[in-house]
Structure 1
Amino acid sequence: MSDEHTQTPHDIRLLIRSHIWAMGCRLAFLSFVLGTRRFVCKPRCNTMTLPLFWIGLFTTVSYLVIRSIYRLYFHPLSKFPGPKLAAVTHLYEFYYDVVKGGKFIWEMQRMHDQYGPIVRINPRELHIKDPYYFDPIYTSKAQAKDPYIVRTFATPLSTAATVEHDRHRYRRDLVNPFFSKRSVMGVDYIVQDKVDKVCERLTQALDKGTVVSLDDLFAALTADVISHYAYGESLGFLDTENLKNEFRDAVASAGLLCHVARFFFVVSMVADTMPGLVEWMQPSSKGLWEAKRMIEKMARSSLEKDHEKDANSRKTIFDALCAESVRPEERTVARVRDEAMVVFGAGTETTARVLATGSYYLYRDQPRLEKLRAEIKTVMPDSTDHVSLAQLESLPYLTAVINESLRMAHSVTMRLPRISPTPLAYKDYIIPPGTPVSQSIYFMHMDPTVFPNPESFDPERWLEASSKGERLTKFLVPFSKGSRICLGMNLAYSELYQMFATLVRRFDLEIQTPPESVRITRDFIVGLPDDADYLKVHSLVTNAL
């Protein structure tokens, strides 16, 4: 037989797959025919109707059996290790994430312990647990997001939820200039102004002897910063008595809905078209709709604004999204609203969590606190001094504390699959193109081969690695990597440097939170402790320096 007629294993798999689907179609057609007319048989002159229920049941079972056989033995991922049940059905993942509530991340860890660094975690997806293979997955090359995971987002028109690479690049380019290092350093006065307001709140708490919710306080800080930065004016959460924060509530609400939305795409459709119904059925989702309504008003206002008339004012992210040069299909209320929802939500909760986590560990460790304070005093001799971001970035121990806080905060625990248009090679495996492949940031940051004693807060690990010429930061990926790296990274670092430095230089705190309140046990986009919708850190302000 000539080479052109030789069938490769791939061709054989495609042939088998086509026959399986053809058989499934025949069964479906049979079900349709039998459902449109009565199937009658007359044994011994008695007319008996075969119940359509049993016909439908037989058809369904036959289809599921054939599909299971295909997935187990003929699917392109059939040779990859993993539980057979996970290869057959998404119900395996559904049980751990929906029924048990965000627990699939721990089942994935068990899978890796049993099957090795690469595992087939569901019928169509591979998960890798290898800190040295993060870059090939999260590369700067053209890649698509997994639409199955994108369903979890309550913002389908945002850049973060954009599946196609080219459209993602277009949308990202609209706002990318606002998050460059140069742009952020040019408006660091916005961050400093909000940091000063945090200090005012802490001073008031000291005078009154009241316990402060650090997580709420830091979330108000980050929400006021991002709203001022993106919209041109702060929404004033730091000025409210109870630090009410719709953006933080929105992140929590979206997290609680994320797993259900992933398995039932109709949930996202209903949520977008009938939010009142979802709010009635799921009261905990109220914060999401409140934030959407608030931002929708801002989006309408920006679209109606005369941008040429305001040419001399500082341009904002809303201005960029609503500019006349933007494609008409992108200049809609829904599109601007969804983009702003992600910018505000991500810019609020993630950085606030890092600040709360770092404060929790630092103020429970007096020697490290004093070591950091002594370093900060070298650039801030007076506790009320304002110093530049560049000066703070030059402090090695402050940088180490921030890196360790980023590692321990677990701001994003959900896996973020990427789809490569070309095959990927991992060890002895060739991953077929078009396969969703992911790693988990949580596993990266808690890998004991990279970070010994990963449960311990140890800023010195960063200094020791640096002294040995080791680049430990390549394993620090709280903002992910590649073409879809978090846009707000530079702004987040500005907030972290300025808030940590000012807090440590000016205040002594007594942490009132037990360890279990910051121990991550569930994955709802962000890591959550047991029986809580937020990571909570409470403290008493004991002294102002």
Structure 2
Amino acid sequence: MAMFLCFCFLLPFFLIFLKNLKPSKWKLPPGPKKLPIIGNLHQLHELPPRSLSHNYGPVMLLRFGFVTVVVISSKETAEEVLKNHDIDCCSRPKTEGTRKISYNFKDIGFAPYGEEWKMMRKLSVVELFSSKKFHSFRYIREEENDLLVKKLSEAASKQSLVSLKKTLHTLVGSIVCRIAFGLNLHDCEFIDEDSIMDLVHKSELLEMTSMFSDFFPRGMGRLMDWISGQNKRLDHVFSELDTFFQNILNDHLKPVRRDAERSDIIDVMIDMMEQEKDGDSFKFTTDHLKGMISDIFIAGVSTSAFTLIWAMTELIRNPRVMRKVKDEIRTTLGDKKERITEEDLNKLHYFKLMVKEIFRLHPAAPLLLPRETMSHIKIQGYDIPQKTQILINAYAIARDPSVWKNPDEFDPDRFLDSSVDYKGVNFELLPFGSGRRICPGMAMGITLVELGLLNLLYFFDWGLPENGEAERNMKDKDSALDLVQVICH
């Protein structure tokens, strides 16, 4: 009996191994050599940088266990995928980590392409990201930045060090939670502002976690997940996030809250769910509500905070650029403003080029969220079969030496005479993606970054602590700074 079970367990591995020995009927992209059974899983850690694409070109084939993956690493191939074949490549693969964080793919970011996804995205655009809604939230963005300035001024008066990571996660988390959930983190009963960075970190762990069941047949993979304890670890990481999201939902379900004047996107979804009738083609569930909460919180906070941290890091590392940006700000806005408004952003030019360079050098998602082909396509003459995962290596594209001069240098001047933008039309710069799956909150994210940076640079000067740790980090181009010295201007 034991031998029979062992045979049944190993048979799929042998079948896939024999299948890979047969010559393919298609012209597949090149890629590194694969090991039996696991394919290129041993090279998974090499994906975000440019090392593999340098060796195998802009269309590279990898196999992770039983899963076929194609990595796209040039602006030309990215345009083919995101523009020419957008409709064929706009679904998402399903992994256990994203299943958890999306509540069984009932969200926008990780849901497969279809009518349900269209409904959720349309709702988010109308109720959260429309021009009217965007402008109505301006006072929240400005109030939270005013509070940031007040707190940093107190730290400067005490000559205490400031954690950039914690401070900027709190800023963005406070804005996102007020706008999307009507939740004030400064006096919330079930979460405090100091916990935001930890929750974001847990969400990133879920997104990046790879399970055996992601790469091998489901029954076999789940058994290996259970034996290895990966399921238990995944559930443990997810539990705190789920508690937070459930508390937000419970807060919206309180009768005292049901006020049309302060309704947000979650209130709208609850109202729609309560008004649904038998026979409706689409019905909201609790998973849809929590999936939307998860998307807004994770995508809204992590990406903008990441970009702000890297912007301050690069400016402190590059005094020439810092001086040039601050000179423009002080010359244009004067020295006596009591508060910064979003109108001030439209008066600055070099400042916006600096932000564009940050998006290029440090995309929040070095690999855009994976896509999955819904039909057979050709990219650069190579066959890409149906159900192939496609990874757009935005990091490699934004540092391609054939497109960018001195691509690893932080140099906003490169955009002085350039029309290249980051809004999904120019495929050499894709921090927000492109096509049907472009980030719906792009305008909100850009403003969060620009307004936060402008407040940090207008009211304060920045320096490194004297203990030498930051100087050591400065030598590592891949390390973002954390502790800094803040000085009132």
Q: Same fold (TM over 0.5)?
A: yes
Equivalent-residue separation in structure 2 for 1:356 and 1:238 (angstroms): 25
TM-score (ref. length: structure 1): 0.74
Q: Residues 76 and 378 of structure 1: is their aligned pair in 2 closer, same or farther, counting only changes over 3 Å? A: farther
Alignment partner, residue 290 of structure 1: 240
Alignment partner, residue 112 of structure 1: 53
For this pair of structures, how many residues does the alignment match?
459
Q: How far apart are residue 360 of structure 1 and its match? A: 1.4
Alignment partner, residue 19 of structure 2: 70
Structure 1 gap ranges (5+) = 1-34, 36-51, 98-102, 522-528, 530-534
Q: How far apart are residue 406 of structure 1 and its match? A: 1.8
Q: How far apart are residue 517 of structure 1 and its match? A: 7.3
Alignment partner, residue 404 of structure 1: 357
Of the structure 1 ranges 123-132 and 144-153, higher mean CA displacement relative to structure 2 is found in 144-153
Alignment partner, residue 87 of structure 2: 141
Aligned positions of 1:1-150 closer than 5 A: 35=1, 52-53=2-3, 55-57=4-6, 63-75=12-24, 79-85=28-34, 89-90=37-38, 92-93=40-41, 95-97=42-44, 103-105=45-47, 109-122=50-63, 123-139=67-83, 141=87, 143-149=89-95
Return the match for 1:319 from 267, 271, 277: 267
Contact 2:161–2:485 (8 Å) recurs in 1: yes
Could you list the per-position Cα deviations for residues 374-407 of structure 1 after superposition, in whole angstroms to 9, with x for gaps in the alignment?
2223442244344553541342201111111222
Please report the RMSD computed on the Cα atoms of aligned residues, expressed in angstroms: 3.7
Q: Residues 215 and 346 of structure 1: is their aligned pair in 2 closer, same or farther, counting only changes over 3 Å? A: same
Equivalent-residue separation in structure 2 for 1:239 and 1:206 (angstroms): 29
Could you list the per-position Cα deviations for residues 270-311 of structure 1 after superposition, in whole angstroms to 9, with x for gaps in the alignment?
9xxx9xx9898579x55x53332122022133245588x623
Give the AA of the match of 1:230: A
Could you list the per-position Cα deviations for residues 312-343 of structure 1 after superposition, in whole angstroms to 9, with x for gaps in the alignment?
x0431212322226768753333312221221
Return the match for 1:540 from 473, 479, 485: 485
Could you list the per-position Cα deviations for residues 80-133 of structure 1 after superposition, in whole angstroms to 9, with x for gaps in the alignment?
3223416x544532x344xxxxx2316x84432332221111152211211222
Equivalent-residue separation in structure 1 for 2:89 and 2:138 (angstroms): 33
TM-score (ref. length: structure 2): 0.82
Could you list the per-position Cα deviations for residues 230-274 of structure 1 after superposition, in whole angstroms to 9, with x for gaps in the alignment?
01232228999x95123x32332233344544433589x99xxx9
Of the structure 1 ranges 210-219 and 159-168, higher mean CA displacement relative to structure 2 is found in 159-168
Q: Residues 413 and 72 of structure 1: is their aligned pair in 2 closer, same or farther, counting only changes over 3 Å? A: farther
Equivalent-residue separation in structure 2 for 1:149 and 1:458 (angstroms): 38
Give the AA of the match of 1:145: S
Q: How far apart are residue 368 of structure 1 and its match? A: 2.0
Alignment partner, residue 10 of structure 1: none
Alignment partner, residue 359 of structure 1: 312
Q: Residues 190 and 455 of structure 1: is their aligned pair in 2 closer, same or farther, counting only changes over 3 Å? A: same
Equivalent-residue separation in structure 2 for 1:442 and 1:315 (angstroms): 38
1:395 aligns with 2:348: yes
Q: How far apart are residue 411 of structure 1 and its match? A: 1.6
Q: How far apart are residue 508 of structure 1 and its match? A: 0.4
Equivalent-residue separation in structure 2 for 1:520 and 1:363 (angstroms): 12
Q: Residues 125 and 304 of structure 1: is their aligned pair in 2 closer, same or farther, counting only changes over 3 Å? A: same
Contact 1:303–1:331 (8 Å) recurs in 2: no
Give the AA of the match of 1:428: G
Alignment partner, residue 169 of structure 1: 118
* Other structure's SS at 1:337 match: helix
Contact 1:209–1:540 (8 Å) recurs in 2: yes
Give the AA of the match of 1:541: V
* Other structure's SS at 1:114 match: helix
Give the AA of the match of 1:359: M
Q: Residues 365 and 119 of structure 1: is their aligned pair in 2 closer, same or farther, counting only changes over 3 Å? A: closer
* Other structure's SS at 2:116 match: helix
Q: How far apart are residue 418 of structure 1 and its match? A: 2.2
Alignment partner, residue 219 of structure 1: 169
Q: How far apart are residue 348 of structure 1 and its match? A: 1.1
Q: How far apart are residue 416 of structure 1 and its match? A: 2.7
Return the match for 1:440 from 374, 393, 410: 393
1:344 aligns with 2:293: no
Could you list the per-position Cα deviations for residues 52-78 of structure 1 after superposition, in whole angstroms to 9, with x for gaps in the alignment?
52x555566564333223234355667
Equivalent-residue separation in structure 1 for 2:271 and 2:70 (angstroms): 41
Alignment partner, residue 194 of structure 2: 244
* Other structure's SS at 1:340 match: helix
Q: Residues 502 and 348 of structure 1: is their aligned pair in 2 closer, same or farther, counting only changes over 3 Å? A: same
Contact 1:511–1:537 (8 Å) recurs in 2: no
1:186 aligns with 2:136: yes
Alignment partner, residue 153 of structure 2: 203
Q: Residues 68 and 519 of structure 1: is their aligned pair in 2 closer, same or farther, counting only changes over 3 Å? A: farther
* Other structure's SS at 1:410 match: coil
Give the AA of the match of 1:73: K
Equivalent-residue separation in structure 1 for 2:77 and 2:209 (angstroms): 30
Higher RCO (CA-CA < 8 Å; seq separation 6+): 2
* Other structure's SS at 1:145 match: coil
Give the AA of the match of 1:147: P
Equivalent-residue separation in structure 1 for 2:239 and 2:474 (angstroms): 27
Of the structure 1 ranges 450-459 and 194-203, higher mean CA displacement relative to structure 2 is found in 450-459
Extract structure 1 runs of 4+ deviating beyond 6 A: 237-240, 277-280
Equivalent-residue separation in structure 1 for 2:240 and 2:10 (angstroms): 44
Alignment partner, residue 404 of structure 2: 451
Equivalent-residue separation in structure 1 for 2:209 and 2:168 (angstroms): 29
Could you list the per-position Cα deviations for residues 412-435 of structure 1 after superposition, in whole angstroms to 9, with x for gaps in the alignment?
134533234444332232333443
* Other structure's SS at 1:475 match: coil
Q: How far apart are residue 494 of structure 1 and its match? A: 1.3
Identity %: 20
* Other structure's SS at 2:47 match: helix
Contact 2:91–2:373 (8 Å) recurs in 1: no
Alignment partner, residue 17 of structure 1: none
Give the AA of the match of 2:242: K
Q: Residues 472 and 300 of structure 1: is their aligned pair in 2 closer, same or farther, counting only changes over 3 Å? A: closer
Structure 2 gap ranges (5+) = none
* Other structure's SS at 1:159 match: coil
Equivalent-residue separation in structure 2 for 1:77 and 1:321 (angstroms): 46
